[in-house]
Amino acid sequence: MPPKRIKSAKQKRSCRFYSKPSQATQDMIQRALYQRLFLVDRTVKSQYKREYSILGTTGNFYTVIIGEKVQCSCPDFDIGHICKHIIFTMIRVLQLQKNSQYVYQKGLLRDELTEIFTHADEMKQRHQQNGFNPLPYADNKILTAYHQITDAHPTAARKDIKGPCPICFDDLEQRECVWCRYGCGQNVHSECWKMWNTVHNSCVFCRIDWEKTEQFNDEEETSNKDDNKQQKEIKQDEIKCEDVQEQQQQQQQQQYEEEEQKYNDDLNDIDDDEEEKEDEDDEDDDDEDDDIIMSHPSKRSRKQLEEQMVDDDHDEEVQEDLHECVIE
């Protein structure tokens, strides 16, 4: 693309036009070409405005807006410089020559934007026909991490499924359709898209990368499946946990009942032993009392003495004892 300035009486530039780059801008161009910068996301905001997310050398993500007013969210742009992220987007993403005047402008006209975007789409399509994707996308791990951090979602609303398919020209309603979620929202037959995708990797209508769109859809579907699987596993774990808890409670209850029964049996045994011991003690006491009575005449009754006296045939000792008992 030749570096030229488009003049238009109907359009007004938002910022002054720079006819040549300053030394600082030239140094920034070299940084943009040789430092490790990556494209992680892009969105078509309108016919004259596109937004790009760039991964910087420090690991930070910056938003570059290419429109009537060129902007970047990095600190260098905030202090008034054309930053390497804008230059990287112009040269590496939009495929402009490094000596193009558009590379370092802060404001662009609509005619200039149309020229820039048309050239970028044509270059991308040409490379894709040769089986090469010229866009400097980051790897899948970085893209996945970016979408998780930003919670990015498709911005395009799906169009009504009506009219002819842009590939086979049959009615869209006759077969299953897919749609451009990250660009124009137009529909196309799923089978037709698969055939189209063997040669092209962009939307039939707006030419935006369909690879990122399909990748996002696959990741979203995979994420939903993983969530459902995780919820199912959690529910199964909860059921298993409840079963284990119930089983443990039953075992504890059974163990408690066994211990209680054993305790009661031990108490009964102790009571029986004590009763037997008391009976034995009572018998021993009775025997001891009898011995004491027999050994001490004063402790015997009159009847006992008389009986003994009869048995002993009026023994003299018994008579004396009887005499003592009468006296008492």
> Can you give the pLDDT at residue 307?
61
What 3-state class would DSSP assign to 71? strand
Q: What angle do CA 184, 186, 187 make, to 5 degrees?
A: 155
User: Is pTM, for the whole model, over 0.85?
Assistant: no
Check residue 66 and give left, alpha or beta (phi > 0: left; psi -120 to 50: alpha). Answer: beta
What are the tens digits of pLDDT across the range 239-269? 666 666 777 777 777 777 787 777 777 777 7
> Can you give the pLDDT at residue 107?
92
> Can you give the pLDDT at residue 212?
46
> Can you give the pLDDT at residue 320?
63
Higher pLDDT, 134 or 2: 134
Higher pLDDT, 42 or 286: 42
What are the tens digits of pLDDT across the range 181-198? 766 778 888 888 888 888
Give the number of C-alpha atoms closer than 13 A to the C-alpha of residue 265, restricted to the C-beta side: 6
Q: CA nearest 147: which of 137, 133, 159, 132?
A: 137
> Can you give the pLDDT at residue 121?
85
Q: How far is CA 222 from CA 137, 212, 217, 228, 259, in A?
A: 22, 15, 8, 10, 54
Q: How far is CA 63 from CA 38, 44, 82, 225, 328, in A?
A: 12, 13, 14, 31, 130
Higher pLDDT, 126 or 140: 126
What 3-state class would DSSP assign to 177? strand
What are the tens digits of pLDDT across the range 284-328? 665 655 555 555 554 455 556 556 555 555 556 556 665 665 555
> Can you give the pLDDT at residue 215?
44
Residue 220, pLDDT > 50, answer no
Domain positions in the chain are 23-150, 153-208, 296-327
> Can you give the pLDDT at residue 84?
93
Q: Which fold has domain 153-208?
A: Herpes Virus-1 (3.30.40)
What are the tens digits of pLDDT across the range 23-38? 999 999 999 988 888 8
Q: How far is CA 101 from its chain centroid?
A: 48
